[in-house]
Amino acid sequence: MYIYYFHLLFLPLLVYVGLMKNKSPDWTYSLLLGVGVLGILYHFFKILSVELQPKEKRDQLRKQHANHEHHDHGH
């Protein structure tokens, strides 16, 4: 659920930078770079945490993740 809050915090910044283009302050680009790097690191380590598990556990985690994506609907 926290990922939705994170998106709500940063998506307006993306819209602002997109609308303002060259008028956007330089710090917005640095912030977006930082968010991008953190997002890449987070997803990289999530993938590693699954891939380093034994095959049975890995398959179970993938199945849980697939079920979660199809049934979450934001609740």
**Residue 24: per-residue pLDDT:** 85
The string of pLDDT tens digits covering residues 2-29 is 777 777 888 888 888 888 888 888 888 8
CA–CA distances in Å: residue 44 to residues 2, 7, 50, 51, 69:
18, 18, 10, 10, 18
Residues 55 and 61: beta-carbon distance below 8 Å: no
Regarding pTM above 0.75, the answer is: no
The string of pLDDT tens digits covering residues 43-60 is 888 888 888 888 888 888
